[in-house]
Amino acid sequence: MIARAWAPLARGLLIGSLTIVVLAGCSSATQDNANFRVPGQDEYNSGAGRDRVRGRLGGTDGLLLFGTDRASRTTAAADAGGGGIGVNAFLWRATLDTLSFMPLSSADPFGGVVITDWYTPPGVTGERFRATAYIMGRQLRSDGVRVVIFRQEQQRNGNWVDSPVSAGTAGELEDQVLARARELRSQSTAAARS
């Protein structure tokens, strides 16, 4: 009876031990392996090709990992009007500028999402607003940003209840973001020419 209860455990230990032995045998390095040269390895080690290869499994023509390699990401960022972020830099900056009157809750420059905290306009009681802005891509286009506004009203018992927002409010904020983005782009172009 006891032998039957231990049989699955013994079988699992045996399979696990064999797996470890096989894997350990695969990782043994010999002198012959140490002299093996990968094509393009010298260029990579020199640093000249390192940026082209980074992000790819198997070298410059290898499998692309985690989205884009460094060279194409740098080129795309320059084309989008800024470096280092995952969305259009002008739309990103314009969104932050336009929503700067509200306290910022979170901002994700790679995903292109800006979330504000609740904001009560000066002189108004019992009403608050919150905004979430989505930057839709890497190009400055009229449909490149979407703003969603949330509104709450305070009841007499102190609880906050969701209320409808005027239909044009989000559209007005989107227009302000786009106008500011165009202004930033023209300033950038003028600075580049001088």
Mind listing the pLDDT tens digit for each residue in 75-109?
444 444 545 678 999 999 999 999 999 999 999 99
Domain carrying residue 95: 85-193
We report the CATH number of the domain holding residue 93 as 3.30.530
> What pLDDT does 131 receive?
96
4/123: higher pLDDT: 123
> What pLDDT does 192 receive?
87
Is 95 in the same domain as 130? Answer: yes
Position 143 in a domain = yes
Is 68 in the same domain as 129? Answer: no
Extended strands (E) in 17-81? 56-57, 63-64
Q: Which region among 16-25, 29-38, 57-66 has the lowest average model confidence (pLDDT)?
A: 29-38
Answer whether residue 181 shows pLDDT above 80. Answer: yes
Q: Which of 46, 79, 112 is the last residue of a domain?
A: 79
Q: What would the mean pLDDT of 152-174 be, rounded to a whole number?
A: 94
Yes or no: say if 110 and 76 are a contact pair by the CB < 8 Å rule. no
Q: SS3 for 169?
A: helix
> What pLDDT does 193 receive?
86
Number of domains, the chain: 2
Look at the pTM and tell me if it is higher than 0.85. no
Q: In angstroms, how far is CA 115 from the centroid of its own chain? A: 14
Is 183 in the same domain as 90? Answer: yes
Report the mean per-residue pLDDT for the chain. Answer: 75
Yes or no: say if 117 and 85 are a contact pair by the CB < 8 Å rule. no
Neighbours of 53 (CB within 10 A): 20
Nearest to 64 by CA among 51, 74, 53, 75: 53
Exposed, middle or buried: residue 81 (CB in 10 Å: 0-12, 13-18, 19+)?
Answer: buried
| pLDDT band (50, 70, 90) for residue 137 | confident
